[in-house]
Amino acid sequence: MTSAPIPSAGKDNQPASTTGLVRVRRAIISAYDKTGVVELAKTLRQYGVEIVSTGGTMAALQSAGIPVISVESLTGVGSMLGGRVKTLHPSLLGGVLGRPNLPSDRKELDQARIRPFELVIVNLYPFSKAANDPNASFDDAVELIDVGGPTMIRGAAKNHETVAVVCDPADYPALVAELNANDGATTLAARRRFAANAFTVTAAYDAKIASYLIASLATPESGQFPEILIKRFTRSGSLRYGENPHQQAAVYRAADDTGPSLANAPIDGGKELSYNNYGDLDAAWRMAADFTEPFAAVFKHANPCGAATGASITRAYELAYATDPLSAYGSIVALNRTVDRACADALNQTTFIECVIAPGYDTEALALMLAKKTRRYITASTMSLVPGRVRFREILGGLLVQDDDEREVSPADLTVVSNVAPTQEQIASLLFARKIVKHAKSNAIVLAQGTAAVGIGSGQTSRVDAVHSAVARAGDRAKGAVLASDAFFPMRDGPDAAAAAGVAAIIQPGGSKRDPEVIAACNEHGIAMVFSGVRNFRH
């Protein structure tokens, strides 16, 4: 097929720098994901747009009765190398990259009888799907590395002065609205937005491929952290403000994170979540994920001020709230069971709760709780977390990365170092308290009765001050309680203060050069002490 001569530049195709409008006369459509492509093509035909297409996309359009010109009729070459080469040809790329308003480009295009495109609709092979599929082979993933698609997208995005490019079906409505608003033309502002989106897509696509290949080279000797770390985040919403009203803020989701996501969790009721809400919710969710039995956590400023298990989720919440009712004012509550009517009644009796996060809410319970107009209810698809996650922390000029603190401690891991051994009931309570203390900011101490915290001291600059803080919150409940410390006691003053309050047993990692002195203090007071061998700092 011989291409028709390029139409002369007229009113409809004046330089974008003059009018900003470019009428769409020709479009190329090559979409792996064909969602919405037929409807889009019908809109283009309403404006008389000539459509050039490839393989499966062409078949889909033709089946819908839409006239299509094949890529092969322009290039003179059919699909090659098992489909690896289809669109890499000057007849297509020249029409995408050529600048019709530049005399030298126009002359070359005329000589090659190449007509320009004003619109490129391309989306890419789903490489991420194969890369995230544990059953997909390396060769399967490599075959889904798109080459022609990114080339077309990048070419059109580079030449956005006269070419619009859309590579996500979610952007089709915006393109249709643009065409309808401008009688089949696009504005420069819209083309620039589309171009920015296109380069974002190709950058993320290449980043995923690079990360996959880097991961394939990992060895036990190289460790789990790659030499080059590539992460992509997509904004999922803007926040009212940051930690303080004078700071702007937004929330982003990790694009390749396939696990439960707080960034996209549904929200019912009240105002939008704040920056601080997200921090508290994240900390509370992580704690709730540590427990399989009915469990409730109460958080303030990313620190627990209440935690407990119970025979029901209602009882767990009542015990967690009782840990420190004063601090629970304006708190975040995490529950690892669906909220029923009884639990909703208990929550509604609490004076002020900012947010509740749970795996679900009974219809009756949610209707009751929504009466609290300022409270937000977040639905987590599951209160568990994908194992093997890593955590990121930004520092000036860099990023700290570590794997998550998933170390479990069982009764078999404990070493009794005192003359008095803990009872089986105390061991169960000690292990509960250790799970709680690992989620409190260091220096941290937790006192527990059974599987309910009764006093939490966190974020202190000395360990003995953390003991005093926990004891003060526990009051008389410290008598007979167990104590968990997130790190070793550097001297005996901590156990001395605990003993004075009536604490009966202590769990700590051990490892201090003054361990003998600390153990002697416990023996003097008749307190049981066990070493776990596991430190749980959280800064």
Instruction: Note the pLDDT tens digit of each residue in 97-121.
Output: 888 888 887 887 778 788 888 999 9
Query: What is d(CA 49, CA 67) in angstroms, rounded to the nearest whole number?
Result: 10
Q: How many CB atoms lie within 10 A of CB 32?
A: 14
Strand 445-449, strand 295-300: pairing: unpaired
Specify the number of domains making up the chain: 3
The type of residue at 445 is: I
Any idea what the CATH number is for the domain that residue 331 is in?
A: 3.40.140.20
Residue 247 lies in domain: 233-253+264-379
Residue 500 in domain: yes
pLDDT at 19: 56
Handedness of CA 513, 517, 523, 528 (dihedral sign): negative
CA distances 266 to 11, 260, 269, 273, Å, are 49, 12, 10, 11
The verdict on 357 and 483 lying in the same domain is no
Both tokens assigned to 392: 């990121």
Residue 219 in domain: no
Is the confidence at residue 87, as pLDDT, over 80? Answer: no
Tell me the three-class secondary structure of 14-63, residue by residue. CCHHHHCEEECCEEEEEECCCCCHHHHHHHHHHCCCEEEECHHHHHHHHH
Angle between helix 515-525 and helix 493-501 axes, rounded to 10 deg: 20
Residue 296 in domain: yes
pLDDT at 6: 32
Outline where DSSP puts E strands in 440-533: 445-449, 452-457, 482-485, 505-508, 528-531
Q: How much is the pTM?
A: 0.78
* CB-based contact 165:192 (threshold 8 Å): no
The verdict on 372 and 492 lying in the same domain is no
219 vs 189, which has greater pLDDT?
A: 189
Residues 6+ away with beta carbon under 8 Å from 9: 100, 101, 106
By C-alpha distance, which of 388, 96, 360 is closest to 224?
Answer: 388
pLDDT at 115: 85
> Among the three residues 154, 183, 213, which one is the final residue of a domain in this structure?
213
Any idea what the CATH number is for the domain that residue 65 is in?
A: 3.40.50.1380
Is the confidence at residue 66, as pLDDT, over 60? Answer: yes
Residue 221 in domain: no
The verdict on 429 and 364 lying in the same domain is no
Query: What is d(CA 446, CA 448) in angstroms, rounded to the nearest whole number?
Result: 6
In a 10 Å sphere around its CB, with 0-12 CB exposed, 13-18 middle and 19+ buried, how is residue 475 labelled?
A: exposed
Residue 405 in domain: no
Query: What is d(CA 469, CA 450) in angstroms, rounded to the nearest whole number?
Result: 20
Both tokens assigned to 328: 């629970």
Tell me the three-class secondary structure of 354-368, residue by residue. EEEEECCECHHHHHH
For the ranges 52-61, 94-103, 511-520, the maximum mean pLDDT occurs at 511-520
The verdict on 448 and 487 lying in the same domain is yes
Confidence of residue 70 (pLDDT cuts 50, 70, 90): confident
The verdict on 371 and 433 lying in the same domain is no
The verdict on 440 and 364 lying in the same domain is no
Selecting among 86, 271, 301, 468, the annotated active-site residue is: 301
Query: What is d(CA 92, CA 101) in angstroms, rounded to the nearest whole number?
Result: 18
> Among the three residues 355, 379, 403, which one is the final residue of a domain in this structure?
379
pLDDT at 17: 44
The verdict on 173 and 293 lying in the same domain is no
pLDDT at 101: 82
Is the confidence at residue 404, as pLDDT, over 90? Answer: no
Sheet holding 528-531, edge to edge: 267-268, 376-379, 353-358, 331-335, 295-300, 303-309, 452-457, 445-449, 482-485, 505-508, 528-531, 415-416
* CB-based contact 507:471 (threshold 8 Å): no
Please state the rounded mean pLDDT for residues 490-501: 96
Residue 372 in domain: yes
438 is catalytic: no
Residue 351 in domain: yes
Secondary structure (3-state) at 203 = helix
In a 10 Å sphere around its CB, with 0-12 CB exposed, 13-18 middle and 19+ buried, how is residue 144 labelled?
A: middle
Residue 226 in domain: no
pLDDT, tens digit, 9 for 90 and up, residues 293-346: 999 999 999 999 999 999 999 999 999 999 999 999 999 999 999 999 999 999
pLDDT at 446: 97
Please state the rounded mean pLDDT for residues 345-365: 92
The verdict on 375 and 422 lying in the same domain is no
Is the confidence at residue 90, as pLDDT, over 90? Answer: no
Handedness of CA 213, 216, 219, 220 (dihedral sign): positive
pLDDT at 82: 60
* CB-based contact 375:369 (threshold 8 Å): yes
Selecting among 34, 42, 89, 158, the annotated active-site residue is: 158
**To the nearest whole percent, how much of the chain has pLDDT over 70?**
93
Q: How many CB atoms lie within 10 A of CB 290?
A: 20
pLDDT at 421: 96
Residues in the chain: 539
Is the confidence at residue 351, as pLDDT, over 80? Answer: yes
The verdict on 157 and 294 lying in the same domain is no
* CB-based contact 54:27 (threshold 8 Å): no
In a 10 Å sphere around its CB, with 0-12 CB exposed, 13-18 middle and 19+ buried, how is residue 141 labelled?
A: buried
**To the nearest whole percent, how much of the chain has pLDDT over 90?**
52
* CB-based contact 338:310 (threshold 8 Å): no
Residue showing tokens 């590539």: 230
- Provide the mean pLDDT of the chain: 87
Confidence of residue 390 (pLDDT cuts 50, 70, 90): confident
Query: What is d(CA 163, CA 190) in angstroms, rounded to the nearest whole number?
Result: 10
246 is catalytic: no
The verdict on 55 and 195 lying in the same domain is yes
The verdict on 176 and 59 lying in the same domain is yes
Is the confidence at residue 5, as pLDDT, over 80? Answer: no
The verdict on 358 and 476 lying in the same domain is no
